[in-house]
Structure 1
């Protein structure tokens, strides 16, 4: 009801005046069920507000304590000071991730991609996307062809997991990024063709270390033969 809404709005406005470094917004829970789910909040009936926030990098946070002016002030200040643990939407981390294509989820993305210390080609896909389904066998073959190289071929279901959106801007599917081994270099969006040859050429050109089995023309590298002479 409007009377109850104004009651809570006035309390949020009071906090907004005290913590001016943050932008505050008020919305109806009924109209933002999807957004609540993105923060891991199941819709619940009741008059008291639920509070969620984002930092400048897009990380998501949820106030776990019951709403009050004091708790909202504390939550807002902890958000500014970086003291909160972010909520990460994630599928279960795969028990076995030794296949030619690594499976990233929200909870292992940093370890598997951002901080891996290896080059990586990452596909952000949606299970319902026809273009993604068409790419799947090519991506699997690419992983198989490059399994002995110092490069990881990775995929992540972008509909079921979070990732660092400030580094990887994804607005359609599939979206592919090259993540260099050197963490000081920014990820680069891939805009080339989607054949196996296209991908191998690109990886050969971008890789920090020369590929052992492939040339920059996507042809198998000839293995040097050795001749042993015994007396």
Structure 2
């Protein structure tokens, strides 16, 4: 009996520890009491069936436990049970996270991993600029991956522009100021006023040029902080991709097999001097080639041989894969040519098809053939096969093609943007699907279509913007389709 009782007590204790949570479950009746009186709280609005919510859950729990000691509450609301409460805060997708300050909500824009949530909320709990003292200095400069501290004294005051910039960038970085006649040990002992960026990677710090501190230029300072806020060569993933994208610099990817650690480490060491020499011009990263094989294919890598190397210019949406073996020497030679503009971007194209339907099937290799003929109006759709909006538009686009016919001076075209790249010479980039562009005859300009996706609206747009002499339907005319019941019409949801 005693053994049985001991086992029972152990099971109760185990169950209690498993079920214990530092995330508060809120309802309509408890929400204001738990949130409105808090200086700072984070609330997740979720649905139990939501896959993204399930992925977030363990990270949210870990962050809640860590932040509890800092008196920052993390809570959640089940929107399947509390529909009115979720509606009150405009929740229309899951999970939705909101930061509350004394009951006033703002959207949470931080990462969704535990360490990212913790870092973001700690920054939110502090002033934009924290006053650092001799007692707190050593701990403060290690409080986050990137910490920026301004130093000054009565004779050399910290510029007011420092606090101004910190206020705009507080979500991303931790800022402090140290004003005293005697300073703590700081790298290289710069003259005052001085600004030092401390980082938990690479050389550990970077000093803002002394000549620029007194008359601090926000744009130059922002560039300095961004450039030094990412490691010289780090692994990239969905969690940190945003920090690279924000910089606007080309990204040089080393795709490596995660199981071949020796090859990765050898190549990373060989590439580091190249990355250091091009710091501020190109960001270098390595990436799991197996897990992110589809991303490699989107960058025009073959996807069957590792390691591989490719440069992506996010701003221009161009890709520059290394066609030779990815060795340190080959990458160095490739990058020397790349920065000089001697490498041509890789343009992915599906084979040029036979045009046997009412809609012109456009591919990258046929781009000039279509758009260099300025005697015709061209209305082009750029789509992705998996896009639901594109699938709903497809039958309407076919009818539009039949409306104007093969012999018309209005060409209705479409391009699968997952199989074809937009050539660099094109004056636009595709950011979402479907993207609809109209090029009037006699012009090189493209007009965005932003109306609803009904057949009637598309025809009206063409008739308003066409410039060719015989742009109306010349053959194969089709009556404008009328839908007997609104429910039978294709949906026209906007992205």
Question: What TM-score, normalized to structure 1?
Answer: 0.75
Q: Distance in 1 between matches of 2:305 and 2:471?
A: 56
Deviation at 1:154, TM superposition (A): 0.4
Deviation at 1:202, TM superposition (A): 0.5
Task: Say yes or no: does 1:137 pair with 2:395.
Answer: yes
Q: Distance in 1 between matches of 2:470 and 2:463?
A: 6
Alpha carbons of 1:182 and 1:170: their partners in 2 closer, same or farther (altered >3 Å)? farther
Task: Say yes or no: does 1:203 pair with 2:495.
Answer: no
Q: Could you tell me which of 91, 106, 116 is aligned with 2:350?
A: 91
Of 203-212 and 51-60, deviating more is 203-212
Q: Aligned to 1:24, what secondary structure does the other structure show?
A: strand
1:43-77 CA distance string (max 9 Å, x none): 335xxx31111234222121122233332122113
Deviation at 1:126, TM superposition (A): 2.8
Q: Distance in 2 between matches of 1:111 and 1:28?
A: 39
Of 187-196 and 162-171, deviating more is 162-171
Q: Distance in 2 between matches of 1:13 and 1:183?
A: 47
5 Å matches for 1:15-164? Answer: 15-20=274-279, 21-38=281-298, 39-44=300-305, 49-55=307-313, 56-94=315-353, 96-97=354-355, 99-113=357-371, 115-117=372-374, 118-147=376-405, 148-164=407-423
Q: Distance in 2 between matches of 1:4 and 1:40?
A: 19
CA contact (8 A) 2:409 2:472 kept: no
Alpha carbons of 1:131 and 1:19: their partners in 2 closer, same or farther (altered >3 Å)? closer
CA contact (8 A) 2:267 2:328 kept: no
Task: Say yes or no: does 1:175 pair with 2:435.
Answer: yes
Unaligned runs of 5+ in 1: 215-219, 221-231
1:98-133 CA distance string (max 9 Å, x none): 5431101232234324x4434311112233444433
Rg larger in 1 or in 2?
Answer: 2
Q: Which structure has more strand as a fraction of its residues?
A: 2
Q: Distance in 1 between matches of 2:395 and 2:402?
A: 11
CA contact (8 A) 1:91 1:161 kept: yes
Alpha carbons of 1:133 and 1:69: their partners in 2 closer, same or farther (altered >3 Å)? closer
Q: Distance in 2 between matches of 1:105 and 1:200?
A: 24
CA contact (8 A) 1:120 1:152 kept: yes
Deviation at 1:15, TM superposition (A): 1.0
Of 155-164 and 80-89, deviating more is 80-89
Alpha carbons of 1:181 and 1:87: their partners in 2 closer, same or farther (altered >3 Å)? same
Q: Distance in 1 between matches of 2:385 and 2:286?
A: 33
Alpha carbons of 1:25 and 1:89: their partners in 2 closer, same or farther (altered >3 Å)? same
Q: Distance in 1 between matches of 2:472 and 2:326?
A: 59
Q: Aligned to 1:170, what secondary structure does the other structure show?
A: coil
What is the count of residue pairs matched by the alignment? Answer: 208
Alpha carbons of 1:24 and 1:137: their partners in 2 closer, same or farther (altered >3 Å)? same
Alpha carbons of 1:67 and 1:188: their partners in 2 closer, same or farther (altered >3 Å)? same
Q: Could you tell me which of 164, 167, 189 is aligned with 2:448?
A: 189
RCO comparison, higher one (Cα < 8 Å, 6+): 1
Deviation at 1:155, TM superposition (A): 0.9
Question: What TM-score, normalized to structure 2?
Answer: 0.38
Q: Distance in 2 between matches of 1:142 and 1:78?
A: 46
Q: Distance in 2 between matches of 1:44 and 1:75?
A: 18
